[in-house]
Chain A
Amino acid sequence: GNSVTQMEGPVTLSEEAFLTINCTYTATGYPSLFWYVQYPGEGLQLLLKATKADDKGSNKGFEATYRKETTSFHLEKGSVQVSDSAVYFCALYGNKLVFGAGTILRVKS
């Protein structure tokens, strides 16, 4: 079945550091890929998405590119802020939404 694997956290960075959170997937067909973010004490919200190979999703300075050849959808941000501290979930949609385990990001000032 479809599955998503994310790098384990927590990831701890200083403010203005470069962020990469790795995500790889296993799926049949051509799934859509997503990054969701969960701020402390809140529900999840969609951060960005990509629906086909080579698409780049972007939002709030975050980017991720749908790489079919490496079955990856890594999340990147050039300069993180304390307010980016949250849990980040990679997900894919084939016939249903499948989430990764989540990666905790902590940004120190």
Chain B
Amino acid sequence: SQTIHQWPATLVQPVGSPLSLECTVEGTSNPNLYWYRQAAGRGLQLLFYSVGIGQISSEVPQNLSASRPQDRQFILSSKKLLLSDSGFYLCAWSKLAGSTGELFFGEGSRLTVL
């Protein structure tokens, strides 16, 4: 069966510090991978998606970046965090090209920027 893991689960970082959130998927090959952010009291915002190694599409301009160094690994990074980066970050994967719209989500990473 397929599984998806994110870490760390909780992170408290000062403004201006770097960020690295990691996500890995097991039990499937060539997944589409996604990073979403869920700000407090708001819905889900798609940040990045990837259809293959080294292929990253950005949905919104921001000081975050994403990388996919391996088929089943997706990393969310920042060189300098802002207060507005606080939120709940969710990694997700889908089969094929997301053709069914069904996503499988990780447990989430809660980031607090102070």
Contact = CB atoms under 8 A, between A and B. Distances in A.
Interface of A: 31-32, 34, 41-46, 49, 89, 91-93, 96-97, 99-102
Tell me what chain B mostly uses at the interface: helix, strand, loop, or mixed: loop
B2 interface: no
Contacts of B100: 32, 93
A97 B90 contact: no
8 contacts: A31-B101, A32-B100, A32-B101, A43-B90, A43-B106, A45-B105, A46-B103, A101-B43
B43 A97 contact: no
Contacts of A91: 101
Contacts, number: 47
Interface string B94-108: 000010111111111
Contacts of B101: 31-32, 34, 49, 91-93, 97
A90 to B, nearest CB: 10
B88 to A, nearest CB: 9
B44 interface: yes
Interface centre among A44, A100, A101 (most CB of B within 10 A): A44
B108 A97 contact: no
Chain B CB within 10 Å, residue with most, of A41, A42, A43, A45: A43
B16 to A, nearest CB: 28
Nearest to B107: A43
Nearest to B4: A43
Nearest to A91: B101
A42 B43 contact: no
A42 B102 contact: no
